[in-house]
């Protein structure tokens, strides 16, 4: 069955962000009745010496967890189903450990994180979700033994620490988060991954036979990220082409020649190619020296 565009985006987006930190499994099946946890994460046994800075999301995944992202605010039944999947997963992991004569500690049992663009006070109160000093605003938890927490993305502070979660939000909040994403340094691998996933999301929405008004508005919101990704993809292709041409002409691309590529990319494509083909190494370096 074809995944809904948001489901596909959220799962692939989170998988790419979390992969450097540990093992990520999309659609982890749990029994006895077959159900799937959207994203199941277990951190590396030995943390990376230089892990990516995921802010609040990074704090959430310091221990094993399941992540259940929603495009719209979940109902009470949705939340209960998430908790049911969590406890089925606990039972499955405990049975597996028992077969190996092992015992799982409470810390080793996954925590559930429900990610929702918004949550009403009535919904939070009906389950007994509360704020804890350990977490910032927008994070609500159930009593410890229930191992369940909810992120109301619209209640998060708009800081760099929450960016990777706010991209999963809705409306103006999500639009602002996407602009923040675009503004990050181009070399940031998290930015590269997130831009690509947002672009794929937009393409999948565009392929819908009869997009709803909400989907059309969402496509507009995602357009800045899509256009930025497309522009950078074209530039990357041009960069690779120029690097190949310089290598063919001069045998290798050293630091001095590599420095000319950024300036060549600012020229019309045909002019840049002509210069590489016609100029000597010295002429290229002289032309772009101190510009």
Q: What is the pLDDT of residue 290?
A: 56
User: For a pLDDT cut of 90, what percent of the chain falls above it?
Assistant: 59
Same domain, 150 and 96: yes
Domain contains 26: yes
Same domain, 158 and 26: yes
Instruction: Based on the fold, state whether residues 197 and 163 are members of the same structural domain.
Output: no
User: SS3 string of 178-222?
Assistant: HHHHHHCCCCCHHHHHHHHHHHHHHHHHHCCCCCCHHHHHHHHHH
Same domain, 12 and 132: yes
The count of structural domains within the chain is 2
Residue 63, in any domain of the structure: yes
Distance, CA of 112 to CA of 151 (rounded, Å):
11
Handedness of CA 19, 163, 128, 120 (dihedral sign): negative
Domain of 19 in residue numbering reads as: 5-169
Whether residue 181 lies inside any domain: the answer is no
User: Domain end: 137, 169, 201, which one?
Assistant: 169
pLDDT digits (tens, 9 = 90+) for 4-13: 788 889 999 9
pLDDT in tens, the chain (291 residues): 345 788 889 999 999 999 999 999 887 766 555 578 889 999 998 878 888 999 999 999 999 999 999 999 999 999 999 999 999 999 999 999 999 999 899 999 999 999 999 999 999 999 999 999 889 999 999 999 999 999 999 999 999 999 999 999 999 999 999 999 999 998 899 999 999 999 989 988 888 888 889 889 999 999 999 899 888 888 888 888 888 888 878 888 888 888 888 888 888 777 887 888 788 888 888 888 754
Let me know if residue 230 belongs to a domain.
yes
Same domain (yes/no): 18, 140: yes
Question: Is residue 178 in a domain?
Answer: no
**Residue 13, both tokens:** 């987006």
Same domain, 164 and 111: yes
Total-model pTM: 0.82
């Amino acid at each position: 069955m074809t995944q809904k565009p948001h489901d596909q985006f959220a799962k692939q987006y989170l998988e790419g962000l979390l992969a450097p930190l540990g093992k990520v499994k999309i659609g982890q099946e749990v029994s006895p009745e077959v159900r799937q946890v959207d994203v199941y994460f277990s951190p590396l046994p030995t943390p990376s010496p230089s892990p990516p800075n995921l802010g609040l999301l990074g704090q959430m995944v310091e221990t094993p967890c399941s992540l259940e992202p929603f495009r719209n605010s979940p109902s009470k039944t949705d939340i209960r189903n998430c908790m049911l999947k969590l406890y089925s997963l606990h039972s499955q992991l405990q049975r597996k450990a028992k077969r190996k004569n092992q015992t799982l500690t409470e810390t080793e049992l996954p925590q559930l994180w429900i990610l929702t663009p918004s949550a009403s006070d009535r919904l939070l109160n009906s389950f007994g979700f509360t704020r804890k000093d350990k977490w910032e605003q927008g994070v609500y938890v159930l009593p410890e033994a229930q191992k369940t927490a909810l992120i109301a993305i619209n209640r998060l502070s708009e800081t760099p620490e929450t960016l990777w979660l706010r991209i999963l939000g809705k409306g103006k909040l999500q639009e602002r988060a996407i602009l923040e994403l675009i503004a990050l340094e181009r070399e940031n691998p998290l930015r590269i991954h997130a831009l690509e996933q947002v672009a794929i999301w937009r393409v999948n929405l565009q392929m819908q036979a009869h997009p709803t008004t909400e989907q059309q508005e969402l496509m507009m919101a995602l357009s800045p990220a899509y256009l930025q990704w497309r522009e950078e993809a074209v530039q990357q292709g041009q960069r690779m082409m120029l690097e190949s041409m310089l290598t063919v002409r001069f045998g290798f691309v050293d630091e001095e020649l590599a420095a000319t590529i950024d300036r060549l990319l600012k020229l019309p494509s045909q002019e840049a190619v002509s210069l590489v083909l016609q100029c000597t190494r010295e002429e290229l370096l002289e032309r772009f020296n101190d510009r």
